[in-house]
Amino acid sequence: MLLRPKTVSRFRPTATPDASILAEHRSVVREINRRGILRGSLTLGALPLLTGCNVSDRDAVQSVLRSVSAFNDAVQAWLFDPNKLARTYDASLVVRPPRFNAYYEIEDVRPIDITSWKLELSGLIAEKAPWTIDQLYAFPEQEIIIKHICVEGWEYIGQWSGPNLRQFLTRVGADMRAKYVVFHGNDDYMESIDMASALHPQTILATKYAGEPIGDPYGYPIRLRTAVKLGYKNPKWLRAIEVTNTYSGGFWEDQGFNWFAGM
Ligand SMILES: Nc1nc2c(c(=O)[nH]1)N[C@H]1C(S)=C(S)[C@@H](COP(=O)(O)O)O[C@H]1N2
Ligand SMILES: [Mo]
């Protein structure tokens, strides 16, 4: 989707609203509604009130929806409490195996060749030497039993363990004042999170699920697992981590989803 900022005249006669405008921006609309930013839900009738603009103008509607979503990011970042712990669960509730999701089907998962695999580090990190899986397994492990929530409308409780991300970033000399941590998956999935969430005590680089190495579909050999973000902000099959001040969005944000996606 292309974002073209455009000035809109308020004095044009309002054309008949076209329902396909909202349908085209389904994911952003869903996110705005889910977050409860508006009282009630975002409907075609509410759009002119919200925007003061001609709802038949597709570009205008799109830029307004985007700015509501961006505003949402700023408010969420401001409301986010880096010390507040998310709810954890009893081990008896852990679902085995986890529930699979990716932007493609489980049959299309391409297993990683662990003999050549390394975790690359780049950006504002002092020690950029890549890490092997054995080095990562030797790192102190933290376990979290947390709920995974996917915006597609399902959730499950999972038991994840691996290096705490704050401890890992400290070990490699990452600049903790940087704004973003970016994760690249072996499947070309990319997601970035804010530094405060990266440093949250319940954010880990998970190598294990329910005490066993994570299975191929769920992100072997290592993935991000954080209690403070929605499912899509938990990239799997990591191949690289980057610390940066440059905003780089992510796979689902490019489809219109909210970037902060925190809880
Ligand atoms: N590399 C990669 N990571 C990804 C995805 C993906 O397609 N590729 N999908 C995301 C989405 S939308 C969800 S809900 C979770 C699903 O993780 P699970 O299969 O372990 O439940 O992974 C996230 N991380
Ligand atoms: Mo998801």
What's the one-letter identity of residue 50?
A: L
Residue 8's pLDDT is: 33
Q: What is the pLDDT of residue 257?
A: 77
| Range of 23-32, 47-56, 74-83, 221-230 with top mean pLDDT | 221-230
Ligand 1 probe mutation, 31, 188, 205, 232, most atoms within 8 A of CB? 232
Cα separation values, 239 from 13, 31, 128, 157, 244, Å: 53, 29, 13, 25, 17
Task: Evaluate the CA torsion angle 250, 255, 258, 263 in order and state its sign.
Answer: negative
Higher pLDDT, 253 or 102: 102
pLDDT at 249: 86
| Section 181-194 average pLDDT | 96
pLDDT of 218: 98
The 3-state DSSP class for residue 134 equals helix
Query: Which pLDDT score, from 0 to 100, does residue 248 have?
Result: 87
Name which of 67, 162, 178 is nearest 123 in CA terms. 178
Here the tokens at position 102 are 């990716």
- The residue ranking higher by pLDDT, 98 or 61, is 98
pLDDT bucket at 68, cuts 50 / 70 / 90: low
Contact 231 CB / ligand 1 (< 6 Å):
yes
User: 209 φ, ψ to 5°?
Assistant: -125, 125
User: Under the phi-then-psi rule, with left for phi > 0, alpha for psi from -120 to 50, and beta for the rest, what region is 188?
Assistant: left
CA neighbor of 173 nearest in space, from 109, 129, 143, 208: 129
Would the pLDDT of 206 be above 80?
yes
Given a contact cutoff of 8 angstroms between Cβ atoms, the answer to whether 144 and 161 are in contact is yes
Ligand 1 pocket member 187 (CB < 6 A): yes
pLDDT of residue 5: 36
Burial class (CB in 10 A: 0-12, 13-18, 19+), 205: buried
Distance in angstroms between the alpha carbons of the first and the last residue of the chain: 26
The per-residue pLDDT for range 121-137, each reduced to its tens digit, is: 999 999 999 999 999 99
Q: Is the CB of 236 under 6 A from ligand 1?
A: yes
Q: 32 C-alpha to center of ligand 1: Å?
A: 22
Q: Is the CB of 158 under 6 A from ligand 1?
A: no
Supply the mean pLDDT for the chain: 84
Model pLDDT, residue 35: 62
**Given a cut of 50, is residue 11 above it in pLDDT?**
no
By percentage, how much of the chain surpasses pLDDT 70?
74
pLDDT at 32 over 50: yes
Q: Are 174 and 243 in contact (CB under 8 A)?
A: yes
pLDDT greater than 50 at residue 177: yes
Distance in angstroms (rounded) separating the CA atoms of residues 206 and 218:
10
223-226 and 190-194 strand pairing: unpaired
Q: Give CA–CA dist 167/7, Å, rounded.
A: 47
Cα(30)–Cα(22) distance, integer angstroms: 10
* pLDDT at residue 1, as a whole number: 37
- pLDDT of 10 reads 32
pTM of the predicted model over 0.85: no
